[in-house]
Structure 1
Amino acid sequence: MISSNTHMDWGPVKMVDRRRVYIILLLFTLGVAAIAGRLFWIQVAAASRFTERNIDLVKNSVLQRQRGLILDSGRGRFVDRSGQALTGEVRRGLLVFPVNEAYYGTAEQRKPLLAILRTGESEWRSFLSGLKEPAWWPNPEGKPLGLTNEQAAQIEKLGIPNVRVAELTIRYPAGMPAAQLIGFVGQNPERVESVFRDQLEKGQLQRDSEIGASGLEKTFEPWLRSLGPTTLSYFMDAGKRPLPGLDARIVSSETAHYPLTVHTTIDAGLQRGIERAMDRLGVTDGAVVVLDADNADVLAMASRPSFDPTNVDLPGGGWSNKALIPATPGSVFKIVVAAAALEAGVVQPNEAFECHGELGKYGFRCWKEGGHGTLTLEEAFAESCNITFAEVMKRLTPEQVEAAARKLGLLSPVGWEGNVGGRPFRQFDGEASGQLFAAGTPTNDEGVLLQTAIGQRDVRITPLQAANMVVSLLHEGEVLEPRAVSSITLKSGKVLETFAEKKVLSPEENGISGATARKLLSWMHEVVETGTATSLQKAKWPLAGKSGTGQVITDGPRTTDNQWFVGFAPADRPRYAIAVLAANVPSDRAGIALELFRSTTDFMADRDALQTSAK
């Protein structure tokens, strides 16, 4: 009984102890789970909240293993009028991956590879020995070497584990034509914050994102912006060695619609021909503009000094487009003075003027020693007689000359502008206005007016304005707006945006009269037939135009000249309006602009003949 009672007395006690054990175990389990959960939260779920610099530890631990090599920035591309790529050249290249310091491939693999690459054993070993991450096999200029389809196929057949053929998009290929017109991209945090604040706040741009910095890259930035690059992703261990089994893969942000294509009006073949002519003739400063005589589209816009958009020297200024920068025009401006005189009727058709070489005051002289003798205004135009134009200027008011300059599109930007997407838009980056008188210049001073008559003193025009002035004459006084871009298309080819041909003025809207335009064109024929440009009679096409020499005074006794020739070709059936500026040429090097004009038109004539014979 006792034992039985004893058993009965202990039973309740054991039940209580078990409950306590269960509770303790439960609390312990919950505690461990809480601690584990907390550690998970700290180490994984909220790692970015536990660093002073808001660094996402999880993301960055993955990035330490996964790397990306950019194959294509994803930025929209430029093409010329026939669809030929100006930017975004796609090139096959050879990617070399590091394996270990002693791995160079087998001798059987290396021999055919080195033959394809046209390199030697020592160069191959030297390249691999310093390799820490995948890199492109370079050409002599240090850029990725381009491979032909045949070379690429041969390399892939070799089955070498540490090399891979991949496609790379070169944004600015070597020798890219129209570099200043196209421009370049670069980082500009201040502009991102001021101009693209909405995109910055939405995360579509970062402060250090590359954006268009000059040229069409800048003005067409909203259409060119990338959705993201195409990258070759690969995994590496802590020693920066590719991890076996984790092959490289291409990741692209391209969609069915993007990237976009910007269709320029440029003729890439003509552009290259002109740039070669400038270099051959030693034109290191200046511009050539060729416009379609029918609609003023820019067919070529070449600028010097030369410019490499992959290596931009900002202080050097070679990136500036000289075709859009005003320069002293010299006697090219006599077109404006003659137009003003004809419109105002201040000169009789057969009126004679006397040129003895000097005016007799202000130290004003004609370029021809001893003068031209007796001549009409038409003859003075052909001979570019300074004294005759000084006498004509005395009969004009500053307002009449300014009106003629404005009617010919020389006192404001003439490049395409309009409203696109409800916002004002200009195609040309940094296009400047022309100038007749500087601020503070006494416009009624006779000495000032005489210098203005021959395109000196304060007068400034751009090569684009000069070429467009010729188009205006060919259109009997109608001023058009030159385009550099005609349309933008989606990746599918569907047109997204068009930039229609436009005009600024017509004779009915206060342009010069058709009669004045026709007379000036006939006088431009005389310049080549009997005047200052008879050397152009040797050209392959008949030519017409107006020469000009603007004196540029530099520090000290040294002076240089801006040599100009503006005109049209062929003279008997005009298809092109052309402005040539050879700037800051030493005064003893005459005739450079005429040679460049002739080289440009001869190139056109030869190419036209080839195209005709091929039909």
Structure 2
Amino acid sequence: MNDETELKKHRMFLALLLIVGLLAVWNIRLFWIQVVATRSFTGRGIDLLANSVIQRENGIVLDSGRGDFVDRNGDPLTGKELKVLTVFPVREEGSAGGRREESLNRIAEWMGIPGKEWHIFVRGLKSPEIWSESGRPVALTDSQAERIEALGLPDVRVMRYKQRYAQQQPASHVIGFIGQNPERIMEQFSGQIQKGELQLTSKIGNAGLEKTFDYWLQGIGATSVSLFTDGMKRPLPGLDVRMISPDNPYYPLKMVTTLNKGIQSHIEFQMERLGIAEGAVVVLDIRNADTVAMASRPSFHPGHVDPTEGHWSNRALKATVPGSIFKTVTAAAALEEKAVHPDETFECNGELGKYGFTCWKKGGHGHLTLEEGFAQSCNIVFAEAAKRIGAEKLEQYAQKLGLGTLVGWSGAVPGQADFRQWDGEEKGQVYHLSTDKRDEGALVQTAIGQRDVQVTPLQVANLVVSLYAQGKVLSPRIVQEIRFQNDRLHTSFPPRGLAPEGAAPISPDTAQRLLAWMKEVVDHGTGTALQAAKWPLAGKSGTAQLTLKNGKPGENHWFIGYGPADQPRYAVAVLVQNVPQGYGNKSVPLFKEVMDILAAP
């Protein structure tokens, strides 16, 4: 019995020894295939394990998964989908290699690619790449895509690629840009880093709407494509190209803006045509203050921005000297405080007689009422009116009309307790903190929009809206709602009014009177050139004196107003900034061009 037991143990030991031996031989064989055999066949070492996954590791991201912006009509502002040529590093030999070479030559011919350039690209591939020119993927026509797909090449595929920014990106200053920002990721998105949803190298919104709406824009994963090959870089049958996608019908989200893409693009074209080097245009729906268009110069492309150089600057949100358009505020204060009788006249002989204060018209305008002084933009009339109003009251009325405060849409929304739609919006000011408001010399300069006064184009366009709203100050929106990918509503941003602290609206009577005075500016005042526009227009001109960076005198040229004058639809502010003194005023021609665009069917 003992002998039989010992025999069984001996057999089991031999069996285990045999199994261990077989495993050892198997491992030696795998090692030989991994290191030795590949060297003898190819003359160089190939890591089969690394090569089995290299395509997946270096796959192409076709869609980052980030949410997109669309205009009010649903036309995309970002995320245009392109058909692109995707090439994978695959080796073909023998007759298959010859057919592949012939097919590649045909592709180059169809796409107009120089043969030498094309073959250098294909043979130099170490990872999958999209055919690009000047760093941008080349979009295929439908005909090109059909021809290429018909070839059936395993290493050349037509893919759908989502391009974040177009080559001629509309509303680029409004949209802003994305980029790496490890410090802000650590500060604001530490929770998402811990969950693995973000990395320090992830691209987030760094400016504009990309930044303010980043909370909703972050997607749930990218769509990528990989080609799986064996160690010889040959496609694995049935497991070659694999698409990896979140496949969620709700995400990414869509930010539905208030912009009109067509109007936006036409305005940007006209600014370029007129040679506007610096400035801004703001178009608001006069009924609810929604932003129809917003353009800024100098231009920039969001795909070619170094965030450390600070090239992005939306001039429509930056405060600068307004000049005579501020007389609208002074007139409102004079009417509300009954500081000036409607029939009262002032004498303008070109000079105030002190402070070195003069009128823009040499020799003066003669006798003018406040209404006539508004149409002719007489400095003397408004200086005299301001002396009766006083500095404190003048500043109060500026605040009542939405100046000296942030006017852009803000409020509590789900996920964001104190949310502001606009990035980088400035408050502006009427008086600097250090200015003595008892100084009459400072007061008369302030009354005509000089000295310390600074406003943004968004604020003064909204000032026109406020007059149309009978003195009620609204808060301009740029995004009206957020929708899921299947178009179900996610979040809405309803129109709302702005109530500056301690301020009450001006009276409807004063608001209506100022709107009527703006018509007179075009009828027989400083804006008569606008009579050639497609619509009857109304507004107020302004020329602000300033000092340029080179120390020489310069000007800001403004025009604010509305149209059509008989049935108002749009409020517009135009700024041509930092113009050397003596150059022609381009704000009126630009205002006309903008209104003609809006008048087009």
Instruction: Give, in whole Å, the separation in 2 of the partners of 1:150 and 1:556.
Output: 55
- Structure 2 unaligned blocks of 5 or more: 26-46
Aligned to 1:485: 479
Alignment pair present for 1:186 and 2:179:
yes
SS in 1 for 2:159: strand
Aligned to 1:44: none
Instruction: Give, in whole Å, the separation in 2 of the partners of 1:596 and 1:242.
Output: 61
What is the deviation of 1:104?
7.9
AA in 2 matched with 1:208: T
Instruction: Give, in whole Å, the separation in 1 of the partners of 2:585 and 2:226.
Output: 57
Alignment pair present for 1:296 and 2:289:
yes
1:431-470 equivalences in 2 (<5 Å):
431-470=425-464
Alignment pair present for 1:392 and 2:385:
yes
What is the deviation of 1:133?
2.1
Alignment pair present for 1:64 and 2:69:
no
Instruction: Give, in whole Å, the separation in 2 of the partners of 1:99 and 1:30.
Output: 39
The answer on whether the counterparts of 1:305 and 1:318 sit within 8 Å (CA) in structure 2 is: no
Cα distance change, pair 398–155 in 1 and its aligned pair in 2 (3 A):
same
Q: Which 4+ runs in 1 deviate beyond 4 A?
A: 14-36, 57-63, 100-108, 236-239
Instruction: Give, in whole Å, the separation in 2 of the partners of 1:105 and 1:305.
Output: 51
Aligned to 1:174: 167
The answer on whether the counterparts of 2:217 and 2:253 sit within 8 Å (CA) in structure 1 is: yes
1:112-127 equivalences in 2 (<5 Å):
112-127=106-121
Seq. identity, %: 48
1:91-170 equivalences in 2 (<5 Å):
91-100=82-91, 108-110=102-104, 112-139=106-133, 141-170=134-163
Instruction: Give, in whole Å, the separation in 2 of the partners of 1:28 and 1:110.
Output: 56
Aligned to 2:210: 217
Give a deviation string over 1:498-524, Cα, whole Å, max 9, x none. Answer: 111111249x97111101101111111
Cα distance change, pair 113–62 in 1 and its aligned pair in 2 (3 A):
closer
What is the deviation of 1:362?
1.8
Alignment pair present for 1:270 and 2:263:
yes
- Structure 1 unaligned blocks of 5 or more: 1-10, 37-56, 609-615
Cα distance change, pair 134–202 in 1 and its aligned pair in 2 (3 A):
closer
1:276-287 equivalences in 2 (<5 Å):
276-287=269-280
AA in 1 matched with 2:69: F
SS in 1 for 2:535: coil
Instruction: Give, in whole Å, the separation in 1 of the partners of 2:270 and 2:203.
Output: 33
AA in 2 matched with 1:72: D
Instruction: Give, in whole Å, the separation in 2 of the partners of 1:558 and 1:23.
Output: 101
Cα distance change, pair 156–16 in 1 and its aligned pair in 2 (3 A):
closer
AA in 2 matched with 1:382: A
Instruction: Give, in whole Å, the separation in 1 of the partners of 2:591 and 2:13.
Output: 99
Instruction: Give, in whole Å, the separation in 1 of the partners of 2:413 and 2:178.
Output: 22
What is the deviation of 1:30?
12
Give a deviation string over 1:329-374, Cα, whole Å, max 9, x none. Answer: 0111100111111111110111111111122222211111111111
Aligned to 2:39: none
Instruction: Give, in whole Å, the separation in 2 of the partners of 1:198 and 1:108.
Output: 53
AA in 1 matched with 2:561: G
AA in 1 matched with 2:461: A
Aligned to 1:376: 369
Instruction: Give, in whole Å, the separation in 2 of the partners of 1:330 and 1:220.
Output: 34
AA in 2 matched with 1:397: G
1:544-563 equivalences in 2 (<5 Å):
544-555=538-549, 557-563=551-557
Alignment pair present for 1:334 and 2:327:
yes
What is the deviation of 1:251?
0.9
Instruction: Give, in whole Å, the separation in 1 of the partners of 2:98 and 2:279.
Output: 51
What is the deviation of 1:222?
1.3
AA in 2 matched with 1:114: A
Cα distance change, pair 380–98 in 1 and its aligned pair in 2 (3 A):
same
Instruction: Give, in whole Å, the separation in 2 of the partners of 1:59 and 1:383.
Output: 82
Aligned to 1:407: 400
What is the deviation of 1:388?
1.3
Out of 594, 597, 601, the residue aligned to residue 595 of structure 2 is: 601
SS in 1 for 2:398: helix
Alignment pair present for 1:90 and 2:81:
yes
Aligned to 2:537: 543
What is the deviation of 1:162?
3.1
SS in 2 for 1:511: coil
Give a deviation string over 1:113-153, Cα, whole Å, max 9, x none. Answer: 233202232332232232222222224x3311111222211
Aligned to 2:418: 424
Instruction: Give, in whole Å, the separation in 2 of the partners of 1:115 and 1:128.
Output: 15
What is the deviation of 1:235?
2.6
AA in 2 matched with 1:549: T
What is the deviation of 1:296?
0.7
Give a deviation string over 1:557-591, Cα, whole Å, max 9, x none. Answer: 41221111000011111000000011111222222
Of 339-348 and 350-359, the range deviating more from structure 2: 350-359
AA in 1 matched with 2:393: Q
Instruction: Calculate the TM-score normalised by the size of structure 2.
Output: 0.89
What is the deviation of 1:390?
1.0
Instruction: Give, in whole Å, the separation in 2 of the partners of 1:195 and 1:204.
Output: 13
Taking only aligned residues, the RMSD between alpha carbons, in angstroms, comes to 2.9
